[in-house]
Amino acid sequence: MRDETRMLLESMGRLFEDHCTKQVADAAETGVFPDALWHAVSETGVPLAALPESAGGADAEWSDLFAVLRVAGRFAAPIPLAETMLAAWVASAAGLEVSEGPMTVGPVRADDRLTLERDGNGWRLSGRASRLPWAAQAGQVVLITDGPDGEMVVMFGDGVEGAVPSPGRNMAGEPRDTYRFDGLGLAGNVVAPVGPGVNRAALYRRGALARAVMMAGAMERALDTAVAYAGERKQFGRQIGKFQAVQQQLAVMAGQVAAAGAAADAGVEALSLDDPAMQEFLVAIAKTRVGDAATLASEIAHQVHGAIGFTKEYSLQLSTRRLWSWRDEFGGEMEWAAKVGGFVCARGADALWPTLTDG
């Protein structure tokens, strides 16, 4: 890891630790946007850092941004940080001007369709974008749509008439809001063709990878919490972590957490590949493996904690409810695993080993 990256992660870790308190997390679930947290994160420049300097960014490496997302996942930061990074990437590449503030991006579900039709000098938007993260609280919404001549980016801000999402939440209480458009009128200056390297599939991949990375972080936190608890909680006259049955469970969990971290790293590295099919294969492996790990890791973290882990008061649920939610966002394990399997089967049995090794 580069020194700059290490310093960035240390300072972001401190920032999240200071701001992501239990109170902030609880309040966010009741609909109070954590302005202080967002402001602090925004001041670091991280949300827009991937943009070119000319567009207000810092030409940052995506690998660094994903590393920050892992830290954000570790602290269960209740803000649309990944979404803002991705929205800014999509909008900026299309030449649309991005302003500061929380953003969201979509579609985030493979079966959603958005279509754009010409209407004089403007456009009309129809279709559905379901379960957009923080849509109601995002200052700007960036959507990739099917236009008459290919994919088009649409960006609209607060107070666009006819654009009011219906609210929803994931199991962690994070807003997941659904837009339905029926010929929503948009001015010409908020619509542009997708930029180079950007398309719906690429957005979906990066979204899935963001969730994988955030899950890796959340699992690290759950493991820390479970190991610490096993060292404190006493039953039958000794710490429960001294019982072999508990040690073996935590060892299994640690293995899953380690595998998740390694799989997420591999997915992030894949972003630098030129071949989109290989990129998709490696991101699919990451989302599949991390999602599988999340299931087992959450189960064991709760088992080790006993009843206290099942309470709202105790912090473990901030991690585990996110793990249960994030594993299904931007496609669950079955969807991504089918891509992995489909990819290797299409290449044939004798190509399996070269596919795995010739990266």
Residue identified by tokens 């009309």 is: 124
Does 16 bind another protein (CB under 8 A)? Our answer is no
Query: For residues 41 and 285, which CB has a smaller minimum distance to another protein in the complex?
Result: 285
The residue from 213, 250, 294, 297 that contacts another protein (CB under 8 A) is 250
Q: What is the CA radius of gyration of the chain?
A: 21
Where are the alpha helices (H) located in the chain, listed in sequence order? 3-19, 22-29, 35-44, 62-74, 81-93, 200-232, 244-270, 276-305, 316-326, 333-347, 352-357
Using CB under 8 A as the binding rule, whether residue 245 contacts another protein is answered as no
Give the C-alpha separation, 294 to 57, whole Å: 33
Nearer to another protein, 172 or 263 (CB): 263
Site for another protein in 32-91 (CB under 8 A): 74
**Binding status of residue 292 toward another protein by CB under 8 A:** yes
Least separation in angstroms between CB 270 and another protein: 11
Segment near another protein (CB under 8 A), from 46-54, 110-118, 179-187, 261-269? Answer: 261-269
Query: Binding of another protein at residue 334 (CB under 8 A)?
Result: yes
Residue 8 binds to another protein (criterion: CB under 8 A): no
CB neighbours (10 Å) of residue 52?
A: 11
* Displacement of CA 174 from its chain's centroid (Å): 12
Polymer length of the chain? 359
* Cβ distance to another protein smaller for residue 188 or 276: 276
- Amino acid letter, residue 157: G
- Phi then psi dihedrals of residue 327, to 5 deg: -65, -25
Q: Which residues bind another protein (CB under 8 A)?
A: 1, 13, 74, 220, 223-224, 227, 230-231, 241-242, 244, 246-248, 250-252, 254-255, 257-259, 261-263, 265-266, 269, 282, 284-285, 288-289, 292, 333-346, 348-350, 352-353, 356-357
